[in-house]
Amino acid sequence: MPVTTLTRSCGFIREDEEKGQEQGLAWEEFKRSWDVLQEDEEGSLQSVVATIKQQQIRRRLLRDTDTIQRGIIRHLFIVIDLSASMLEKDLRPSRLELTLSLAETFIGEYFDQNPISQLGIIVTRDGIAEKLTELSGNPMEHIRVLKEKKLKEAAGEPSLQNALETARISLNHVPPHGSREVLVLFGSLTTCDPGNIFDTIERYKREKIRCSVIGLAAEIQLCRTMAKETNGTFGVVMNEPHYKDLLFELVTPPAIIATTKAASLVAMGFPKRIAERAPSMCMCHRKPVLGGYVCPQCSAKVCELPTDCDVCGLALVASPHLARSYHHLFPVKNFVEVKWEDVVAGHGEHWCFGCRSMFEQPPATGQMQRASDRFKCPECQQCFCLECDLFIHEALHNCPGCAQR
């Protein structure tokens, strides 16, 4: 197999061998996180609190709340690089362990925000690709696979083309109303492919498969081109928190591609849960289990929801799943920051409408430029603190002031 060396735009500078053997590498040294906290002249941690607050404000400013058409029935494959490059320790405790840990958290958040979607896992090492889990809506099965010991055995070179082709073949059966997505967590600078990977990219474009890449080592021209051609996203990890931010940006469903033919009606079934005294055959696992759900179309039994009936192919969901997916189509609008000048002029409330905590007093005249601690809903004109703002947009997805009105 030919080994394709990818373009590298940055890298890590190591110390010489003697110094590295004596002192160890910078990212391998033990650090105590509490030593990073810096007190001011009065012995207060106010500067640290202000820094955290600024990071939260930046996160809310980057939030996407545009009312656009999104594909809420998603079919996503996560491709994890298990090559020898993932054993590097530039990310603590290592690239591989951090990736598996964040992948577990991502899967839980993905199904929490996209309950009627499906997900699968593919790994690549030693020049081959292996599908660990098929597309399914059971998060516990995917998390169980990620915790297996064999997933922590990294070796050889990855094969990006084999992994993409494996995902493409599995996404062929996805109905037209479902989005097709591939997320690649890539830590290597090379890929060992059996053919021309640009042919695979052309197939992705024709079949409307969106491919997003998160690079753990450096910016790679091939990965950037692939993400751009397939309407995906591309990012390079700078540190552990940035890795998590890049990964969790993909929890929200992407906008539907303009050329995608949207379906006006989608057939779905709402099965009834049954309680049994004796186990009966489950069609999804092919073994006797106690309890489950009965398909309203063919009366086949399945274990969990949401899923597709293995007998008739009907999408089986529960009504709460549809309700939890609805907020992506009509997100809560971004709250507007109330300036300190408006607070001094008497505009705005003194208590948070959400948690009923009292806002802080306006600062001195010379400190009016720092960020305010209150934000107003543009619809109901109620004021909320920063914590309630983040909770409403990231978890609740409904404004309490608008709901009360």
The answer on pLDDT for 20 being more than 50 is no
**CB burial readout 112-142, b (16+ within 10 A) else e:** ebbbbbbbbbbbbbbbbbebbbebbbbbebb
- pLDDT band (50, 70, 90) for residue 55: low
DSSP state of 217: S
In the predicted model, what is the mean pLDDT of the chain?
81
Mean pLDDT of 82-102: 92
pTM reported for the whole predicted model: 0.76
Residue corresponding to tokens 């640290």: 48
Q: What is the pLDDT, as a whole number, of residue 372?
A: 75
Task: Tell me which of 378 and 33 has the higher pLDDT.
Answer: 378
Q: Tell which residue, 117, 38, 164, has the closest CA to residue 306.
A: 117
Q: Indicate the range of 3-12, 130-139, 354-363, 375-384 predicted with least confidence.
A: 3-12
The two most distant CA atoms of the chain are separated, in Å, by: 75
Most confident range (mean pLDDT) of 84-98, 271-285, 371-385 is 84-98
What percentage of the chain has pLDDT greater than the value 90? 38
Full set of structural domains in the chain with CATH: 67-248 (3.40.50.410), 268-323 (no CATH), 336-404 (3.30.40.10)
The 10s digit of each residue's pLDDT in 346-365 is 766 788 999 999 888 877 76
Most confident range (mean pLDDT) of 140-144, 146-150, 157-161 is 157-161
Mean pLDDT of 11-31: 43
Phi and psi for 221 in degrees, rounded to 5? -60, -40
Q: What is the pLDDT, as a whole number, of residue 68?
A: 64
Q: Tell which residue, 196, 213, 204, 198, has the closest CA to residue 2.
A: 196
Q: Is the dihedral of CA 127, 133, 134, 139 positive or negative?
A: negative
Tokens of 127: 């020049």
The 10s digit of each residue's pLDDT in 62-75 is 556 665 667 778 99
The answer on pLDDT for 200 being more than 70 is yes
The 10s digit of each residue's pLDDT in 212-257 is 999 999 999 999 999 999 999 999 999 898 999 899 989 888 877 6
- pLDDT band (50, 70, 90) for residue 400: very high
Helix axes 221-229, 197-206, angle to 10 degrees: 20
Mean pLDDT of 249-277: 77
Q: Indicate the range of 2-6, 186-190, 240-244 predicted with least confidence.
A: 2-6
- DSSP code string of 369-405: TSPPSEEE-TTT--EEEHHHHHHIIIII-S-HHHHH-
